[in-house]
């Protein structure tokens, strides 16, 4: 690695300290050396540098990446068999359930939106961005990719329309923040199909009247970008992730008490989506309908939000009693 300078030298030292030789990778069960108390490449991949276990989702993902890399090494003729797939490995358990403590109620959600609006200069252009997560259950990468043409609502174009009019969002794609080093054109975000959907698939989400008013205000006061994007930066370019994250942190500091700030309550903008879906489920909307609006399978939806559905026991008992009386 000639010419790499101090960075290259540091990288080589890091690899020598924490990396494994080809022999160790090919024969993980008889590896002679141990790194941070770990003796095989799978332990390295599914653990952390400090020797502790990685999160369950991280461990699963890293195991898959390592196994796929070894499959590619076989194609190149470096190995005859995949040593990773030969190892007995039990995936760590993860509940995958939403923490009920992270879910805001309507009062708290409106307080957060008001705290966002008060921030200058980016606050006013971010209110509707966070609102589509709370009222329509959008993921951040779906919200950031919304276009004017995706909004089907007469009150957006008719100032005298009724304030209680519902509308729809027609979601067609998402733009997750992948980082400029990992996209084909060097942009921070990569436009792709909706999560859990095939390329070209779309889904329709209802627009609550409160959200309709916020969207109308956004278009009147901020306007869309030249390419039709609903949410954009101050200069009309793509809205940086760091911009809305900073606004969210400041909004929590303004709207929440010290104890609430220290809790998991709406710690991430994504928690607004959790609050939306929890509200729908607790409001009695059928899980099949919630799953369709949210872009989930019904089984996944009920597993993830199992701890967020509250107050249904008495309702279920009343419905059973009514059914028995009618029999």
Could you read off the pLDDT of 59-118 as tens digits, one per residue?
888 888 888 888 888 888 877 888 777 777 777 766 568 888 899 999 999 999 999 999
Cβ–Cβ < 8 Å for 295, 310 = no
23 and 157 both lie in a single domain: no
Whether residue 92 is contained in a domain is answered as no
Band (pLDDT 50/70/90 cuts) for residue 148 is very high
Q: Taking the CA of residue 24 as centre, how many other CA atoms within 13 Å lie in the half-sphere pointing to its CB? A: 16
Give the best-scoring range by mean pLDDT among 17-31, 161-175, 294-308: 294-308
Whether residue 316 is contained in a domain is answered as no
Whether residue 37 is contained in a domain is answered as yes
Tokens 């607004």 appear where? 272
217 and 151 both lie in a single domain: yes
Band (pLDDT 50/70/90 cuts) for residue 46 is confident
- Please give the residue that has the higher pLDDT: either 186 or 193: 193
Cβ–Cβ < 8 Å for 275, 109 = yes
SS3 135: helix
Whether residue 258 is contained in a domain is answered as yes
Question: Average pLDDT, stretch 263-292?
Answer: 92
Task: State the CATH number of the domain containing residue 278.
Answer: 1.10.443.10
Residue span of the structural domain in which 42 resides: 5-86
Could you read off the pLDDT of 4-21 as tens digits, one per residue?
456 567 767 766 666 666
56 and 204 both lie in a single domain: no
Band (pLDDT 50/70/90 cuts) for residue 249 is very high
| φ, ψ for residue 267, nearest 5 deg | -65, -30
Burial (CB count within 10 angstroms: exposed 0-12, middle 13-18, buried 19+), residue 269:
buried
The CA distance from 38 to 261, in Å, is 37
- Please give the residue that has the higher pLDDT: either 255 or 39: 255
Cβ–Cβ < 8 Å for 86, 293 = no
149 and 82 both lie in a single domain: no
Q: Which of 26-35, 87-96, 160-169, 203-212 has the lowest mean pLDDT?
A: 26-35
Task: Please tell me the predicted confidence (pLDDT) of residue 169.
Answer: 94
How many separate domains does the chain show?
2
106 and 222 both lie in a single domain: yes
Task: Please tell me the predicted confidence (pLDDT) of residue 138.
Answer: 95
Burial (CB count within 10 angstroms: exposed 0-12, middle 13-18, buried 19+), residue 240:
middle
The CA distance from 72 to 147, in Å, is 40
The CA distance from 231 to 282, in Å, is 30
Q: Per DSSP, what are the bridge partners of residue 152? A: 168
Whether residue 77 is contained in a domain is answered as yes
Whether residue 219 is contained in a domain is answered as yes
The CA distance from 266 to 275, in Å, is 9
81 and 218 both lie in a single domain: no
Distances (CA, A) of 62 to 44, 48, 56, 67, 98: 9, 11, 10, 9, 23
Task: Please tell me the predicted confidence (pLDDT) of residue 34.
Answer: 45
Task: Please tell me the predicted confidence (pLDDT) of residue 31.
Answer: 43
275 and 180 both lie in a single domain: yes
45 and 144 both lie in a single domain: no
150 and 297 both lie in a single domain: yes
Band (pLDDT 50/70/90 cuts) for residue 238 is confident
64 and 180 both lie in a single domain: no
78 and 111 both lie in a single domain: no
Cβ–Cβ < 8 Å for 215, 203 = no
Could you read off the pLDDT of 210-225 as tens digits, one per residue?
999 999 999 999 999 8
212 and 295 both lie in a single domain: yes
Whether residue 326 is contained in a domain is answered as no
Task: Please tell me the predicted confidence (pLDDT) of residue 6.
Answer: 62
Q: What is the CA radius of gyration of the chain?
A: 25
Task: Please tell me the predicted confidence (pLDDT) of residue 22.
Answer: 57
Question: Average pLDDT, stretch 123-129?
Answer: 94
The DSSP call for residue 236 is: S
Q: Per DSSP, what are the bridge partners of residue 1? A: none
Paired tokens of 145? 């990719």
């Amino acid at each position: 690695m000639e010419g790499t300078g101090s960075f290259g030298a540091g990288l080589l030292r890091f690899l020598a300290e924490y990396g494994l030789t080809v022999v160790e990778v090919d024969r993980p069960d008889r590896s002679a050396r141990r790194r941070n108390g770990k003796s095989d490449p799978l332990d390295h991949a599914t653990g952390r540098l400090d020797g502790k276990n990685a999160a369950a989702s991280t461990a699963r993902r890293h195991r898959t990446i390592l196994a796929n890399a070894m499959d590619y090494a076989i194609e190149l003729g470096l190995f005859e068999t995949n040593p990773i797939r030969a190892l007995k490995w039990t995936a760590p358990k993860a509940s995958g359930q939403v923490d009920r403590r992270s879910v805001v109620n309507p009062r708290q959600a409106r307080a957060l939106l008001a705290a966002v609006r008060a921030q200058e200069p980016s606050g006013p252009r971010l209110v509707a961005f966070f609102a589509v997560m709370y009222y329509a259950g959008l993921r951040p990468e779906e919200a950031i990719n919304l276009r004017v043409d995706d909004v089907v609502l007469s009150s957006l174009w008719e100032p005298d329309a009724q304030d209680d009019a519902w509308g729809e969002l027609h979601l067609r794609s998402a733009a997750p923040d992948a980082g400029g080093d990992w996209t084909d054109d060097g942009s921070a975000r990569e436009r792709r199909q909706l999560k859990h959907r095939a390329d070209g698939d779309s889904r329709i989400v209802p627009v609550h009247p409160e959200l309709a008013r916020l969207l109308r205000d956004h278009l009147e006061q901020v306007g869309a970008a030249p390419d039709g994007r609903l949410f954009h930066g101050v200069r009309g370019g793509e809205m940086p992730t760091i911009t809305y994250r900073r606004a969210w942190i400041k909004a929590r500091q303004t709207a929440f008490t010290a104890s609430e700030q220290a809790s998991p309550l709406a710690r991430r903008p994504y928690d607004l989506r959790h609050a939306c879906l929890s509200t729908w489920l607790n409001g009695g909307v059928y899980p099949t309908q919630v799953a369709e609006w949210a872009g989930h399978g019904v089984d996944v939806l009920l597993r993830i939000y199992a701890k967020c559905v509250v107050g249904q026991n008495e309702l279920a008992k009343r419905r059973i009693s009514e059914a028995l009386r009618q029999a």
